[in-house]
């Protein structure tokens, strides 16, 4: 159901139901009571606002045949009584009732005295659940519009997909939110204001929406994501500003069948390290249960020591702890107990994510954010599913990755703000890692020293790979390997200097410290595969892609990359004994792949979604032997690399990439090898 001005019909739809128009438009005499512009005596509008809003009341009367007010009075027949605002004094004759069955087996004319006056045979009746789908009036549509087609009026209003995982999760599906005339009618924020939504004080007013152009601490960030606030081409971008005590709730929606909940947070002034009372809580409310949503909780006792109690991990483990990452925990493994704390979020929007319980999937629910403490927060881009999987969750032999360790231990999905991956517990490596690369991920410096590789505490499996395992040689061929990144550490260089200071341990002088949260996450062993020490060709591919994205003259600086492994040449046995740590680890093997591969998608311009992709997008695949790679060769002219199409890599791996792109376009760009765009 949709609404059009002045009673105009919509092209290429299954069914148009004419409700009314104003007196100077054709078909005025067939308007139903309350659906002419002259009906409502509203200041300056002459009824335009309320008349369109009444469509919802009309539709409600077709779902509940006994409802009389929802929220307006329903006009079923003359006997329903006189409601001044439903009557148009200029209308010729008796006002037309709201409901006359008009399905393809009905013989009633509008206003027929013998017609049922309930909302039977129209509206909700035509839905599948309403039972009348097969009785819809015949339509002569030669080509139906796909549900993947995004008909959002303006690009900046779009969500994450054509059908968003959460409507208006980016707070941009709003028109002139600060306009006096608009707010005199309604100051609600679409998606966040009805059905029990809103703030602790009622409706969520539009005055909480802030155009990011007016937030000084985000100027550099906006420029890095291609929306320069000082440019005449700046695209309005709203976020929600939360203050002390604010509670916001999203209207009811259906929880997607997979995907973590993610959201972006900007905190210009974070809470101090000893302030444990400032944090964001997130709740998912179904009809029967309220869930407190959290990220993967890492036991701090495993990684942290000697931190003052008031600066330690919040025992509630909230969705977001509004303190900065502690200076004693900026690297691995300590950072794993700090992932819900602020890193670069003081200078940009930082993505956080929380897990969604399986039992809530597919259910109707509301989503609630609650701000504790007095730290001001900007909230934006509240959606489900990793942005690194925007163009598709690569399925392995027709099975998409899921966070299900029991049924899918070898295609186990891990979503992180930095990347997403499918992990194989039998191979003890990732099947693939998917990540987005753009200038915002590269805006920073590298740590002063290389962070250590560490086990991934979030894995649900008993036997986890540790860095020391890679000191062994291959079981079959005595292969010597190094720890090779799938997501390159240089592609996650977004770093920041702490806002608050901490006394230097030696001098006592107050100093800022660097936070390398994103970079540290590339040093988890789930992002590592055994590679030969001389991986020069692989490194040239990583370097060229990094330079392409970071080139300020390149307008197509948003790239989606999936990297993975193929085959096996050897197995690295795990270490069962680690002096000073343990002497009873289980024995398992780590697969040494025969090949490494990447597939690359470069949209025509940044910000495009799956349905925006055209034949002008660039895509290619690269297959590189995991063997000694000659010095002086690069990925385009090496004896150990093969440049291929994306479809070729799919055939070799059994994976299906970029499945969210319309199939006809996907087939063309995945068959075409276009590396010319990369210098």
User: Are 132 and 157 within one domain?
Assistant: no
Domain that holds residue 119: 1-145
Exposed/middle/buried for 53, CB within 10 Å: 0-12, 13-18, 19+?
middle
56 vs 71: CA distance, rounded Å? 8
Q: Among 66-80, 190-204, 342-356, which range has the highest average pLDDT?
A: 342-356
Q: 164 in a domain, yes or no?
A: yes
182 — pLDDT class (breaks 50, 70, 90): low
Q: 635 in a domain, yes or no?
A: yes
Which of 145, 172, 198 is at the close of a domain?
Answer: 145
- pLDDT tens track for 391-405: 999 999 889 999 999
User: Are 246 and 278 within one domain?
Assistant: yes
What are the helix (H) ranges across 29-179?
Answer: 48-63
CATH number, domain with residue 614: 3.40.570.10
CATH number, domain with residue 279: 2.60.120
421 vs 97: CA distance, rounded Å? 57
630 vs 111: CA distance, rounded Å? 84
pLDDT at 506: 84
User: Are 83 and 166 within one domain?
Assistant: no
- pLDDT tens track for 65-80: 888 887 778 888 877 7
pLDDT at 43: 44
Q: 550 in a domain, yes or no?
A: yes
Q: 394 in a domain, yes or no?
A: no
- Residue 393: other Cβ atoms inside 10 A: 23
Give the H or E element holding residue 648.
helix 646-653
Q: What percent of the chain has pLDDT over 90?
A: 55
User: Are 448 and 344 within one domain?
Assistant: no
Q: 354 in a domain, yes or no?
A: yes
User: Are 432 and 339 within one domain?
Assistant: no
21 vs 26: CA distance, rounded Å? 8
69 vs 639: CA distance, rounded Å? 75
Average pLDDT over residues 247-258: 93
Q: 391 in a domain, yes or no?
A: no
DSSP characters for 137-184? PP---SSPPPTT----SSGGG--SSSS-SSTTTTS-S-S-TT-HHHHH
DSSP characters for 338-360? -TTEESGGGTS-EEEEE---GGG
Residue where the block lists tokens 């209003």: 157
631 — pLDDT class (breaks 50, 70, 90): confident
Which of 90, 121, 145 is at the close of a domain?
Answer: 145
Q: 393 in a domain, yes or no?
A: no
User: Are 357 and 407 within one domain?
Assistant: no
Q: Based on the structure, what is the number of domains in the chain?
A: 3
521 vs 488: CA distance, rounded Å? 10
User: Are 244 and 282 within one domain?
Assistant: yes
User: Are 613 and 466 within one domain?
Assistant: yes
pLDDT at 136: 86
The answer to whether 149 and 369 have CB atoms below 8 angstroms apart is: no
Q: 121 in a domain, yes or no?
A: yes
Which of 97, 124, 145 is at the close of a domain?
Answer: 145
User: Are 29 and 60 within one domain?
Assistant: yes
Instruction: List b or e across 144-168, with b for residues whose CB sees 16 or more CB atoms inside 10 angstroms.
Output: eeeeeebeeeeeebbbbbbebbbeb
User: Are 346 and 378 within one domain?
Assistant: yes
User: Are 626 and 588 within one domain?
Assistant: yes
User: Are 533 and 592 within one domain?
Assistant: yes
pLDDT at 44: 44
């Amino acid at each position: 159901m949709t609404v059009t001005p002045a009673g105009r019909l919509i092209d290429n739809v299954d069914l148009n139901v004419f409700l009314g128009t104003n007196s100077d438009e054709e078909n005025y005499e067939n308007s139903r009571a309350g659906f002419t512009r002259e009906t409502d005596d509203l200041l300056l509008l002459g009824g335009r606002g309320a008349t369109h809003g009444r469509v919802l009341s009309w539709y409600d009367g077709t779902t509940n045949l006994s409802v009389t007010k929802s929220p307006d009075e329903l006009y079923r027949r003359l006997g329903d009584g006189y409601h001044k605002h439903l009557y148009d004094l200029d209308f010729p004759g008796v006002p037309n009732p709201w409901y006359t069955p008009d399905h393809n087996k009905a013989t009633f004319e509008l206003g027929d005295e013998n017609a049922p006056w309930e909302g039977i045979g129209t509206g909700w009746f035509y839905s599948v659940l309403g039972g009348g789908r097969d009785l819809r009036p015949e339509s002569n549509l030669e080509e139906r519009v796909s549900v993947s087609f995004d008909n959002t009026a303006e690009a900046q209003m779009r969500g994450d997909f054509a059908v968003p995982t959460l409507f208006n999760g980016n707070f941009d599906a709003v028109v002139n939110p600060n306009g006096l005339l608009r707010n005199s009618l309604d100051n609600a924020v679409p998606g966040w204001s009805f059905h029990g939504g809103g703030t602790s004080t009622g409706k969520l007013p539009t005055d909480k929406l802030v155009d990011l152009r007016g937030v000084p601490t985000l100027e550099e960030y906006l420029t890095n994501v291609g929306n320069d606030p000082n440019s005449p081409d700046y695209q309005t971008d709203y976020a929600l500003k939360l203050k002390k005590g604010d509670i916001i709730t999203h209207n009811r929606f259906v929880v997607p069948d997979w995907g973590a909940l993610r959201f972006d947070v900007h905190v210009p002034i974070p809470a101090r390290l000893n302030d444990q009372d400032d944090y964001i809580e997130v709740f998912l409310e179904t009809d029967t249960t309220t869930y407190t949503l959290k990220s993967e909780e890492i036991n701090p006792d495993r990684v942290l020591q000697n931190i003052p109690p008031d600066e330690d991990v919040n025992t509630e483990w909230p969705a977001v702890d509004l303190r900065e990452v502690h200076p004693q925990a900026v690297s691995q493994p300590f950072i794993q107990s700090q992932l819900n704390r602020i890193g670069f979020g003081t200078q940009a929007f930082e993505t956080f994510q929380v897990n969604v319980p399986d039992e809530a999937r597919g259910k109707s629910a509301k989503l609630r954010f609650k701000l504790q403490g007095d730290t001001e927060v900007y909230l934006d881009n509240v959606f489900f599913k990793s942005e690194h999987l925007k163009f598709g969750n690569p399925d392995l032999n027709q099975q998409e990755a899921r966070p299900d360790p029991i049924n899918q231990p070898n295609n186990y999905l891990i979503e992180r703000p930095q990347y997403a991956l499918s992990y194989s517990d039998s191979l003890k490596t990732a099947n693939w890692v998917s990540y987005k690369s753009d200038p915002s991920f590269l805006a920073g410096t590298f740590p002063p020293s290389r962070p250590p590789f560490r086990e991934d505490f979030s894995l649900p499996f008993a036997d986890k790979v540790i860095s020391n395992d890679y000191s062994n040689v291959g079981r079959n061929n005595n292969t010597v390997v190094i720890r090779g990144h799938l997501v390159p550490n240089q592609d996650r260089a977004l770093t920041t200097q702490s806002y608050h200071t901490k006394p230097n341990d030696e001098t006592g002088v107050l100093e800022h410290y660097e936070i390398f949260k994103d970079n540290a996450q590339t040093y988890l062993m789930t992002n590592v595969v055994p590679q030969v020490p001389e991986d020069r060709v692989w490194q040239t591919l990583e370097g060229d892609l990094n330079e392409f994205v970071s080139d300020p003259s390149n307008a197509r600086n948003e790239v989606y990359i999936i990297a993975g492994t193929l085959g096996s040449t050897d197995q690295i046995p795990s270490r069962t004994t680690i002096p000073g740590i343990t002497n009873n680890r289980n024995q398992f093997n780590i697969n040494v792949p025969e090949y490494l591969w990447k597939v690359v998608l470069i949209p025509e311009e940044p910000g495009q979604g799956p349905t925006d992709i055209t034949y002008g997008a660039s895509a290619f695949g690269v297959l590189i032997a995991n063997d000694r790679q000659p010095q002086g060769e690069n990925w385009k002219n090496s004896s150990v690399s093969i440049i291929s199409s994306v479809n070729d890599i799919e055939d070799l791996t059994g994976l299906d990439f970029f499945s969210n792109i319309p199939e006809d376009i996907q087939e063309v760009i995945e068959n075409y090898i276009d590396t010319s765009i990369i210098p």
